[in-house]
Structure 1
């Protein structure tokens, strides 16, 4: 992860898992550990990369989408692994997260989720990556006392991710 020039992420923070994900982030690259208390290392990405320098009009569009979206509940409890080895938590239900991502993508079609790299974007919270000694089972054992997490999704954060400069730029409450 080193050498980043920075990128923005529209995300939903998950406070209950932030300490764990923050520790894993520090393990891989401490330059991505934020000193901003509003920054959620544990998050579900809605849209990334987003705009590096959004205009007031861009921010107003996100604000409008947020105010048109009712807050909702989901549960993070199912650990899965993508084909590339990324260990993650799935949200259930995930439909409200998909709807929110679709609304943001429709408003900013030049910013497809994950740069358009993946066809069917699955709302998820990244936990780790399969490696020696790291498996879905070891991650599940580490999180046994924490999962499942019942999450009230009530805001969108605009995060900036950059070496030694991770912070929240804006935040919008959902309706």
Structure 2
């Protein structure tokens, strides 16, 4: 069996943190920095992994979930670390993100969040703890960007592949 490169992820973009998060990608993984101007490196994952090659019916189903989800405001206040060592900013409130993830998972039961390896904990990944990176150093580096008020108003389908990260589709959250 041959492993094909690339995968899809459904995300809520966080443009307020894009300059910081993109700079971390440039630092660590320059081959994964998107040239697609619509691609948002700063995001809160809604569902990953998602369908590898979504059909028109799959995309329409995502569209129905997005249309049923009202846009909502949230705040990113602080830098914290997960037990895994990932340094993140967690949205407050987190419940609307968790509800979106659960609605998408219900629509795509073959795609459990994080392949069932982790609990749903909405977040924006900022960095990873190492010998030279800590919560304190990340707080200093991000500076006065946090706290920041944000609005979740759309869902994007991202394709991740070295040298080819781009947006495949997007939907407005409308609450219709």
What TM-score do you get using the length of structure 1 for normalisation? Answer: 0.95
**How much is the aligned-residue C-alpha RMSD, in angstroms?**
1.3
TM-aligned CA deviation for residue 4 of structure 1: 8.2
TM-aligned CA deviation for residue 141 of structure 1: 1.1
Q: Secondary structure at the match of 2:130?
A: coil
Aligned residue runs from structure 1 range 11-160, under 5 A: 11-118=11-118, 120-160=119-159
Q: Secondary structure at the match of 2:146?
A: coil
Q: Deviations over 1:52-83 (max 9, x none)?
A: 11011100010001111110000011211111
TM-aligned CA deviation for residue 144 of structure 1: 2.2
Distance 2:12 2:95 in 1: 14
Distance 2:28 2:115 in 1: 23
Runs of 4+ in 1 over 4 A off after TM superposition: none
Which segment drifts farther, 67-76 or 20-29?
20-29
1:8 is the counterpart of 2:19 = no
Q: Deviations over 1:127-171 (max 9, x none)?
A: 000012210111111122111121100000000010000000000
Q: Secondary structure at the match of 2:145?
A: coil
Distance 1:149 1:45 in 2: 18
For structure 2, the 5+ residue unaligned runs are none
Q: How many residues align?
A: 172
For structure 1, the 5+ residue unaligned runs are none
Q: Secondary structure at the match of 1:46?
A: strand
Distance 2:143 2:163 in 1: 31
